[in-house]
Amino acid sequence: ERRNRAQSIAEVKRQDITITRFEIDDYRVAIDGGSAIANFLGKVYHKTNGVDCSTEYRYTCEFVRRNGRWQILALQISGKE
């Protein structure tokens, strides 16, 4: 599923979900000059409609170094199988 910035912000601001904790595991990063790729497993703990839940996702983040700062170029999130 592709989302634009407005859709991503709206998802975070949903009123029926409250994120209570986020854990990162299996973190790996590869840097090559002005670009980098990070992979990690993220576990999101949240309350959905008042019920405690957790969900795991695999994240792949691509970064590029511009004007001395690392910026996210792309982010892929997939459900953990």
- Give the tens place of pLDDT for each residue, 32-74: 999 999 999 999 999 988 899 999 999 999 999 999 999 999 9
* pLDDT tens per residue, range 35-44: 999 999 999 9
> In the sheet that 17-32 helps form, which strands lie side by side, from edge to edge?
17-32, 35-48, 51-66, 69-79
pLDDT band at residue 80 using 50, 70 and 90 as cut-offs: low
Query: What's residue 69's pLDDT?
Result: 96
Mean pLDDT, residues 2-10? 82
* Nearest alpha-carbon partner for 1 in 75, 81, 73, 66: 75
